Structure 1
Amino acid sequence: MMDKIILAGFGGQGVMFLGKVLAYAGMGSNLEICWIPSYGPEMRGGTANCSVILSDEEINSPVIDYADCAILLNKPAYDKFASRIKPGGVLVVNTSLAKLDHVRGDIKIIEIPATDVANQIGNANIANMVCLGALLPNLKLIDVEKVAKAMEQLTKQKSELLKINLDAVNEGIAYVCGNNRIVYTLEKDNFTCLLELQNK
């Protein structure tokens, strides 16, 4: 079983961090992983994309021609990568920055105003995590607990940074799962996250 994922947006939108979260979650799930970043020439404000492969068997090629799913954070990313999703795949689009045209009918498209949601939480920079929350229920090989643990590692146990990222993931989950959210607790030197979604 394998999840091939494309992530794309502007430089500065946290595309690479998003890829690292998925890769760390894969490692925490004892999966084979491949994470390949790619930056446009302008870096911040230019294009950025990365590919992540999660697999419970050996990965023969790191190249993704057609992905199982994607998170596209703006219109240029949508224009470039929407055609590279397999039929039956899943596409999460940040509609705050991408008004869709020429919508495909052979894939599941999750339209979420992620930047608007992130602004409501208090930080526009976490739109990437809102989109991750929207994608999570559609991934086969990692769960929300492993993603939360990955974020804990990557934020170096800074509880305020971990909390706002988890809040963003929660809002993304709620957007696609009918107001269901993960339940987590944060304490000094301790972090727990319940695996199942629970109604609040």
Structure 2
Amino acid sequence: MLEEIYIAGFGGQGALSTGQLLAHAGLKEGRNVSYVPFYGVEKRGGVANCGVTISDREISCPIVTEPTVLIAMNSPSLERFESTVVPGGLIITNSSLVDVQVKRDDVRVVQVRANEEAESLGDAMVANNIILGVLLELTGVVSIKAVEESLKEVLPARHHVKIPLNVKALERGAELAREYKKSGLG
């Protein structure tokens, strides 16, 4: 098993914390993991991307240049990184904020209205975990249980009160992915 995941967005969208959760969960499951963040100097609104590799064998290069999965949290991220995804790969977009279409026909595309789904749970700040739940259900790269256990170690203590909401977001994302698969698209 080898998944090379690139998560791209703007600061404040949770791209980096999503990558940290994935990497931490991979370690909890005994996998080889690399996590490499890329971000601008701005606190919010600047570039915030990361590459996460999770494998059952040694990882030869920690930098994700040809992802098997791209998570695009906004339109500029999709436009910039769509071409890097390997043929047969998966592109997950936050269609709440991505207003352009994937141009390729050699990848699977899943569009998730993550912001609206998160707002329906009571907090738009968990949109990243809606998407993470979709990713986990579609790829099986790590278990939701491992991500749930990682929340208290990755999130700052001041956000631990929101762990139950984050778990609901993960579960809602997985449910959306099951609906997607049931529709015959996955």
TM-score with structure 2 setting the length = 0.90
1:14 CA drift (Å): 1.1
Higher helix share: 2
CA distance in 2, matches of 1:89, 1:5: 10
1:141 CA drift (Å): 3.5
What do residues 139-182 of structure 1 show as CA deviations (whole Å, max 9, x unaligned)?
A: 24411111111113223596531111111111111112129xxx
Aligned to 2:56: 56
Q: Which runs of 5+ in 2 are unaligned?
A: 181-186
CA distance in 2, matches of 1:141, 1:18: 13
Aligned to 1:152: 152
Provide the aligned length of Structure 1 versus Structure 2.
180
State the percentage of identical aligned residues: 32
Q: Name the SS for the 1:125 alignment partner.
A: helix
Within a 5 Å distance, the mapping from 1:103-142 to structure 2 comes to 103-142=103-142
CA contact (8 A) 2:82 2:102 kept: no
Aligned to 2:26: 26
1:103 CA drift (Å): 2.5
Aligned to 1:176: 177
Higher strand share: 1
Q: Name the SS for the 1:153 alignment partner.
A: helix
CA distance in 1, matches of 2:37, 2:164: 26
Q: Cα–Cα, structure 1 residues 157 and 149, in superposed 2: closer, same or farther, change >3 Å?
A: farther
Q: Cα–Cα, structure 1 residues 52 and 102, in superposed 2: closer, same or farther, change >3 Å?
A: closer
Aligned to 1:88: 88
Aligned to 1:165: 166
Q: Cα–Cα, structure 1 residues 160 and 97, in superposed 2: closer, same or farther, change >3 Å?
A: same
Q: Which runs of 5+ in 1 are unaligned?
A: 180-200
